[in-house]
Amino acid sequence: MQQNCSLSLVLMVVLLAAHHSLRMNLLLSVNKPDLMTCLELSFVVPDDELVTEILTAILSEIRFDSFMQEKNILKAYIQKELFIEKDLNYLLKEDLFQHVSLLKVEEMPEQNWNAIWESSYQPVIINELCRIRAPFHNPDSAYPYDLLIEPRMSFGTAHHETTSQMLELMLTIDFVKKSTLDMGCGTAILAILARKMGAEPVVAIDNDEWAFNNALDNIILNHTEDIVVQFGDVSTIEDNKFDIILANINRNILLADMKHYAHSLFSGGSLLLSGFYVADLPSIKESALLNGLIYKTHISKNDWVAALFQS
């Protein structure tokens, strides 16, 4: 990153793109060399999803390729030879990151990171009915729904509580012949399960180009090519209506778009939401009620919530 480059312009682009799909527990790199020495940088981040999303996006622009967040600690990984300290220092001087601090830098020994990642990246099982696996896992016919997800850098591998809880709620709903929208689809994992459960037609929308392309790849991997993947935001829905809408995004976007979701549901339709904390549930419920939606139930895990509403 050159110092004469306008970081504010980069931030504006990131903000306009609404990088909700970069809000994640883990970003996965698919093009790392097998043997390398990495640096692990630990950042203390504020309780502000948008700031963390933007920080993650900008770090990826200066060659960081993997990220993991645990509460208010964001760990970022970069190949040692690619790390340029002055770029990082310049970034952290931005006003937006005034509450972000670098806690420590640790050198990770040279290892076969791809092999380690594959050995630790286990399939996710949801209610003994749905199994989500990566391309290097073998299929297992014991599960009615087998989902093959190539995560790349898109949110939605089912390892995060929000995704797994959305899948859990979905398994309690009848999708047969139900028109379904996956709003902010990421990997399209929710759309794919909906289609495998009998939903039709199924539309998946995301405003992140990487997620959009990843979704296209995943629907092919899962032989669900009739899912319509669109690039855009909530305005892409226009006047279309659905029996079921799935939205695993974040609190602010869910609140901002609630009226659109309510307008786009058929009478008696279901709205499944996640991407927010337990403390946010009252405001989500209030917004839903103001838009004519009825709260039905919710589940929570590690302070994350998935909730079901009905029109």
Question: How is residue 179 annotated by DSSP?
Answer: -
For 83, the token pair is: 């790390």
The residue ranges of every structural domain in the chain are 7-117, 155-310
Query: Residue 304 — pLDDT band, cuts 50, 70, 90?
Result: very high
More confident: 239 or 16: 239
- Highest mean pLDDT: which of 40-49, 60-69, 164-173? 164-173
- Work out the pLDDT band at 219, boundaries 50, 70, 90: very high
Residues 6+ apart with CB under 8 A from 13: none
pLDDT band per the 50, 70, 90 thresholds, residue 80 = confident
Identify the H or E element spanning 218: helix 209-221
CATH class (in words) of the domain with range 155-310: alpha beta
pLDDT at 160: 81
Of 197-201, 257-261, 293-297, 301-305, least confident by mean pLDDT is: 301-305
Q: Does domain 7-117 have CATH number 1.10.10?
A: no
Answer whether 191's CB lies under 8 Å from 180's CB: yes
Ramachandran region, residue 128 (left: φ > 0; alpha: ψ -120 to 50; beta: rest): left
Could you tell me which residue, 56 or 9, shows the higher pLDDT?
56
Q: 62 burial class (0-12, 13-18, 19+ CB within 10 angstroms)?
A: middle
Whether the predicted pLDDT of 30 surpasses 80: no
pLDDT of residue 101: 94
Q: Which residues contact 213 (CB under 8 A, 6 or more apart)?
A: none
pTM of the full structure:
0.68
**If 0-12 CB within 10 Å is exposed, 13-18 middle and 19+ buried, where does residue 151 land?**
buried
| Between residues 203 and 95, the one the model is more confident about | 203
Assess whether pLDDT exceeds 80 at residue 39.
Answer: yes
Question: What are the tens digits of pLDDT across the range 147-190?
Answer: 998 766 445 666 788 999 999 999 999 999 999 999 999 899 99
* Model pLDDT for residues 234-252, shown as the tens digit of each residue: 999 989 999 999 999 989 9
Give the count of beta carbons closer than 10 Å to the beta carbon of residue 137. 15
What's the rounded Cα separation, in Å, for the pair 261 and 264? 5
Is residue 66 a contact partner of residue 77, using CB atoms and an 8 Å limit? Answer: yes
Q: Which pLDDT band, with edges at 50, 70 and 90, does 119 fall under?
A: low
- Which conformational region is residue 280 in: left (phi greater than 0), alpha (psi within -120 to 50 degrees), or beta? alpha
Question: CA-CA distance, 10 to 91, in Å (whole number)?
Answer: 11
Check if the beta carbon of residue 251 is closer than 8 Å to that of residue 49: yes
Instruction: Measure the CA–CA gap between 174 and 28, rounded to whole angstroms.
Output: 32
The pLDDT score that the predictor gives to residue 60 is: 85
As a whole number, mean pLDDT of residues 91-118 equals 79
